[in-house]
Every structure is written in C-alpha cells, then in structure tokens.
Amino acid sequence: MKKLLLLLIFFPFCINAQIQVGTGFSYVTEHFSSDEPDYTGSGFDISLRQYVSERFKIVASTGINDMRVSLAVKSRFDYSTIIYGYYFKRVIPVSFGGEYYLWNKKFIKPFVGLETGVYFTQYGSKVDPDYLRYTPKMPSGNSINWGFSPTVGIHFQDNADRMGLFVKLKQTGIIYGKDGFSSIIGLSAGLTFKFGKKIGWKPPVIEVPAEIPYYEKKE
C-alpha cells in the first residue's frame, strides 16, 4: 500500500524535465488535543517540486519523524526523578500540495505552502518490568490517518538557480478519529538541487545577415 501511494504521487514529477529535489532534517514536537502526553524527536524529509511557474511549485514529500515520551516517577527516598521507560512513535507522511514564492527574482525567496495527504503512524515502547504498574495506557499498533500541513519558510537560491538552502516552519495537523487531533510542529533546514531548464527558457539564436559584404584585400 505504501509503495503504491508513493508511486502515484511521485511518478508525475519524474516525467517532467524541470524538478527540484530537496532534503532536510528537523526538530519536531507533537501535541494532542486529548490527555495523551506530548512527543518530541527529530525528522528527516525528502521532497520533489515541479515548476508550474517561477513563483508556484507543486510539491510531493515524504520522510520519517521519530519521537518519544519519557516515563518517569518520583523516588520515595530522595524525591529524585527516575526514568523507567519510553513510548516511541514514528510518523511517515506521504503528502502533496503547493508552494507560492512571494518574490522570486532575488537571492532570498520567502514562501508559503500547503500540503495534504496520509500519515502512517507506528507505536512502540520500552518499559522496565518493575514499573509496569506506573505505566499509563497508551495507543499501540499501527494506523493510517489523514492530515494537512501549512508551511512558511525562506529559500536561499544561487544565481545559477541550481543549488539552494532552505529554512522552514511546518505545522502538521493529523486526525486520529476517536483518539483526537494532534499537531506536529517541525523546524527544519536543508538543501535543494534543481534539474532541467528554467521556465520559458529558449536556446539563444544568432542572426546572420542574408548577404555578407565581400572585401578584397589590396596588395
């Protein structure tokens, strides 16, 4: 199922000559609308952008967000905090959308974006058996949910329009059905590489006069 979704989303980008590949790392934190504790961790993402115009791009992205929650209790002897385990959570997005660049003729290019798609969620845990009675009930197993992601960022592009750097803030809302709604906030930075020709690019044309004057050198 995951491979089919990836193929359907990324195939249209592969058949176009003008695409931009981006990859980056991020710090992520997830907050739930219910009483589930907040998760924190790191993420990695890869994205493809197809140029519709110099200001607007279609985006497809995926990646991995690994987060965890520390489980702790207070010691009865010295009231210190004891970490007795962790709950782990992995979120894999498969989303598509668009980005609009507020201006596109300078080195610094601010942009806003919006994506939507499916989010594969996996849960895991590692708990000290002696502390199982203190462990709160948490979700387990795997699930597939729908979500959306508004984005704001800055893209630094070289003059040749081939390599760039970006910094962006992305908020992802995921609907977990009866388990509530979560909000993942990620601050990421990374690199972009562009392949293909610029929008509207045409090869240079050298015009040659129909008749070239002939001059004979005199001895």
pLDDT digits (tens, 9 = 90+) for 95-106: 999 999 998 777
CA 131 to chain centre: 37
Closest to 21 measured CA to CA, from 70, 62, 81, 77: 62
Q: Kindly state the percentage of the chain with pLDDT values over 70.
A: 78
Collapsing DSSP to helix, strand or coil, 77 comes out as: coil
Per-residue pLDDT, 203:
59
Report the alpha-carbon distance of residue 219 to residue 217 in Å, rounded: 7
Q: Which domains does the chain have, with CATH numbers?
A: 2-195 (2.40.160.20)
Q: What is the pLDDT of residues 159-202, one digit of tens each?
A: 666 789 999 999 999 998 777 888 999 999 999 988 766 655 55
| Predicted local distance difference test score (pLDDT) of residue 98 | 96
Contact between 145 and 176 (Cβ < 8 Å) = yes
Distance CA 17, CA 21 (A): 12
